[in-house]
Structure 1
Amino acid sequence: MAEELSTWGFAEGDAITPELTAVRPLGGGSAYEAWLAFDEVTYGPVVVKVVRPAEADDEHTLRSMVREATALDVAHHPVVVRGLRYDDEGPRPHLVLEHVEGPSLSRLIRRHRRLSPQQYLPLAIDVASALHFFRRADVCHLDIKPSNVIMGSPARLIDLSVARPADRAAEIDGLIGTDAYMAPEQAAPGPYGVPGYASDVWGLGATLFHAVAGYGPFREGDPEAAEPGERFPQLREAPAELPGDVPPTVEKLVHAMLEPTPEDRPLPHEVADALEPEVAALPAPKLSWKG
């Protein structure tokens, strides 16, 4: 039986803090609960990640929240959700984020399976532009996956809770990220290289593969397996085949992003440059006029 997570028990209209009023829950994880809230400071809707009561005094959880806030402070890009403020010392430690309208990519995949080129091509270019900027800002996201992409124009990257500068990412010797979207050097730091900027290119490749195909590039691993190759099939297996109607340029690029060796993957700007002609070749939308 799964362990029951502690909660503040907020209901609509409750005060999360004197400035933040709960509107509706948005989910969360083991350390946080996330809420849509009305913010008296910005005078509009925001997302609040509130540390769960059982974690409110946990130094590791609080450091993680500060790390995310710090990463958001330097990751100012149109494709990245904005961090507004945080409080790691009050009775309810929390991080306040911009509220972005739109479904997550993971929700669209669950609902529609495959995305159309009109959807996945701009998405890939948007995220690649953010990853290009991350190299200049020295940010490694380390958890690029469909549930961390909000679809829109542009798409938006969320959840920088495990983000680090490149030198700190290279020091990681444990598992950080989400199994199915972890680059080989994240799944087995050392033998396959060290986590870094190229790990995010791999995450984008796995995410784009899922959006294009409707299924992931590798079979599902066993999270309880002691053998790394069984938990992380990407360490031993080649990616699955993409559907036959995927444009050759897209197919080649996706597989290049999923190269096992970090140095063999394209740079983010090369990803965007390769996909721009595919966007230009898309048929123009048909307009209909009704009197």
Structure 2
Amino acid sequence: MPDPTPHELLTVVLGSTTPTSRRLVLNRRGSTVWDIETDQGRYAAKVGYPIEATTEWPAQEWTARAPGREGAILRHLGVEVTYGEWERGTWNVQPWREGTSLYDLWEPCRAEGSAKEPDLGDALSCAQAVAALHARGWAHGDIQPAHLIVGQDGTELIDLALARGGPIPGAYDFPFPGCLVHYEAPEISKSVLATGYAMPTPEADVYALGASLFISATGWRAVAYPDDAPRPVQRQAVVDGPHRPVNVAGPLGKVIEAMLSPTPADRPTSAEVCRALS
């Protein structure tokens, strides 16, 4: 069955809300997201469906469940969210998070010849958001610069569909399949290579945050591998290491170096990262 069109997918959520305006934010295999305005406010609307197998990609069923799973997690965390099912998957409608992704925010630092250094306040804000989630007993599992939204009142963590920390309705749950390899801790990549799955942890989140700070500041992935390398090759490079030299000046570089330790127990906790950056 071909992937549904964005127009077809939006009709799935129209029954739960009446947009006065809409903007397609993301339309990729398995997930479509809109920024919508309603009389009640601004929201992100997400619809998931299975990824069909191709010559380059295996089939993935978990993407269909992801919006529903995220909805259940956000409900656990006290966020006002609606979510449900449709014939090919799940959907959710949640408050829009206003701000700029960490990667976009630090773009001037990556400009050729730039002397601008990353803002420690931004880094602290991101660490505080991660630490707050950990303090509530959850691991995010998919921390990356695009999921760190820095606003005037602090940083918001978005895309929590892969998080672990509380009970999830069985109809929406699925094993953790790993995340974007640029930000996977070595122990996560090793487990995915061996079994196909892994378990998100606060320690792996700290590694992912360190890799996010590093790439946002420098433009470089923490671990080097060819851009077109298959996922297993990428993961093996992460497992084998080492990571690139952390050429970020000042206290931020020292903190990132510690966060990227290949041994989970040697990494600082997210609370310790906050104290180091304060």
Q: How does 1:11-160 map to 2 (within 5 A)?
A: 16-17=14-15, 19-21=17-19, 23-40=22-39, 43-52=40-49, 60-75=62-77, 82-88=79-85, 93-109=90-106, 113=110, 116-117=116-117, 120-153=119-152, 154-160=154-160
Per the TM alignment, residue 181 of structure 1 is displaced from its structure 2 partner at its CA by: 0.4
Corresponding residue number in structure 2 for 1:163: 163
User: Distance in 2 between the 1:89 and 1:38 partners?
Assistant: 22
TM-score normalised according to structure 1 size: 0.73
Per the TM alignment, residue 266 of structure 1 is displaced from its structure 2 partner at its CA by: 0.2
What secondary structure, in the 3-state scheme, does the structure 2 residue paired with 1:270 have? helix
Corresponding residue number in structure 2 for 1:283: none
* Counterpart residue identity of residue 85, structure 2: D
Alignment deviations for residues 79-106 of structure 1 (CA, whole Å, 9 cap, x no partner): xxx4522122589842111112233223
Alignment deviations for residues 95-118 of structure 1 (CA, whole Å, 9 cap, x no partner): 11111223322334567626955x
Per the TM alignment, residue 28 of structure 1 is displaced from its structure 2 partner at its CA by: 3.7
Cα contact 2:9–2:47 (8 A) shared by 1: no
Per the TM alignment, residue 130 of structure 1 is displaced from its structure 2 partner at its CA by: 2.5
Cα contact 1:6–1:54 (8 A) shared by 2: no
Q: 1:75 to 1:259 in 2, by over 3 A?
A: farther
Q: How does 1:229-240 map to 2 (within 5 A)?
A: 230-240=234-244
Q: Which sections of structure 1, spanning at least 5 residues, go unmatched?
A: 77-81, 277-291
Per the TM alignment, residue 270 of structure 1 is displaced from its structure 2 partner at its CA by: 0.8
CA RMSD of aligned residues (A): 3.7
User: Distance in 1 between the 2:9 and 2:207 partners?
Assistant: 40
Corresponding residue number in structure 1 for 2:57: none
Match of 1:217 among 212, 218, 222: 222
Per the TM alignment, residue 159 of structure 1 is displaced from its structure 2 partner at its CA by: 0.3
Cα contact 1:62–1:88 (8 A) shared by 2: no
Cα contact 1:38–1:45 (8 A) shared by 2: yes
Percent sequence identity is 26
Moved more, 119-128 or 194-203: 119-128
Q: Which sections of structure 2, spanning at least 5 residues, go unmatched?
A: 53-59, 169-173
User: Distance in 2 between the 1:11 and 1:64 partners?
Assistant: 15
Per the TM alignment, residue 233 of structure 1 is displaced from its structure 2 partner at its CA by: 2.3
Cα contact 2:126–2:150 (8 A) shared by 1: no
Q: 1:50 to 1:233 in 2, by over 3 A?
A: same
Equivalent residue pairs, number: 256
* Counterpart residue identity of residue 5, structure 2: T
Per the TM alignment, residue 238 of structure 1 is displaced from its structure 2 partner at its CA by: 2.2
